[in-house]
Amino acid sequence: MWILYAFGSAFFAGITAILAKIGIKNTDSNLATAIRTIIILIFSWLMVFIVGSFNTITELSMRTIIFLILSGLATGFSWLCYFKALQLGNVNHVTPIDKSSTILTMILAMIFLGEEITVLKVISIVLIGIGTYLMIEKKDDTKESKDRKWLFFALGSAIFASLTAILGKVGIQGVESNLGTAIRTIVVLIMAWIVVFVTKKQGEIKNIDKKSWKFIVFSGLTTGLSWLCYYKALQDGQASIVVPIDKLSIVITIIFSYFILKEKMNKKSIIGFIGIIIGTMLLLV
């Protein structure tokens, strides 16, 4: 059952990238992230009350709370980097790098969580790594190539996403998954708005147009759904398998970026894309 939750996470995460890309086109990425987090917070706590897990909050150990907070901080940093990268670069370049966090997560899961190292996992890591490299290779005469800031933020997103998965896996063990997600979201919300006020972007809220508002809100809802599925899968399954499946959201993202954002891939990118998919699917064998 946890595999189905992992695929559900991938589906909603894939849609999120496209909705967010459109929503932050004319909006500061940090401000958009902070607004999205409000939607996710409301949605996640609504789920807590629906499943009736709120009363268990007093039973949480200090260890669980600490790891949930650390996971929330890692998520916050990952988001800030990811949506800044999306604002600066193309979706089909930023997303593969963000999804390369799969490699680091699998390695960390084997080291710190004691998850089994298999030949298939090693092959998967190699395929995903090569696929990611091929997908970010591009001509040097493009505007995006001249300004490589998006690459820095995309790499930051991948690193913090890996830490999020490992810390979340540890923290989610002692709490109902919906409640754990809701607690983490509080941390992300606080962090996101601190960044907004530090950068003095709060005054730009009044300048957000209706179209941007619509896509920011929808991206918040899809993120909430993705999170609920993801942490339920992490709670019941292996991090080294759940995370790669979740990263299959790249399939949804690339397809939508082609048809909606008109972002095209060259032959190398297509080969890399296929390599990432094959590497991920091997984990299910």
**What share of the chain has pLDDT > 90, as a percent?**
45
Q: Enter the pTM of the model.
A: 0.80
pLDDT at 245: 85
273/246 Cα distance (integer angstroms):
15
In this predicted model, what pLDDT tens digit does every residue of 245-269 receive, in sequence order?
Answer: 887 888 888 888 888 888 888 888 8
Q: Is 158 helix (H, G, I), strand (E, B) or coil?
A: helix
In this predicted model, what pLDDT tens digit does every residue of 141-185 receive, in sequence order?
Answer: 455 555 678 889 999 999 999 999 899 888 888 789 899 999 999
Determine how many CB atoms are found less than 10 A away from the CB of residue 146. 8
Q: CB–CB of 41/185 below 8 Å?
A: yes
99/129 Cα distance (integer angstroms):
10
Averaged pLDDT for residues 213-241: 90
Q: CB–CB of 200/28 below 8 Å?
A: no
86/91 Cα distance (integer angstroms):
6
In this predicted model, what pLDDT tens digit does every residue of 96-117 receive, in sequence order?
Answer: 888 778 788 888 888 888 888 8
Nearest to 238 by CA among 116, 122, 129, 118: 116
The CA angle 64-70-74, to the nearest 5 degrees, is 140
Average pLDDT, the chain: 87
pLDDT at 226: 92
pLDDT at 141: 46
If you search the block for the tokens 């030949």, which residue do you land on?
A: 119
pLDDT over 90 (residue 273): no
Most confident among 114-118, 190-194, 270-274 (mean pLDDT):
190-194
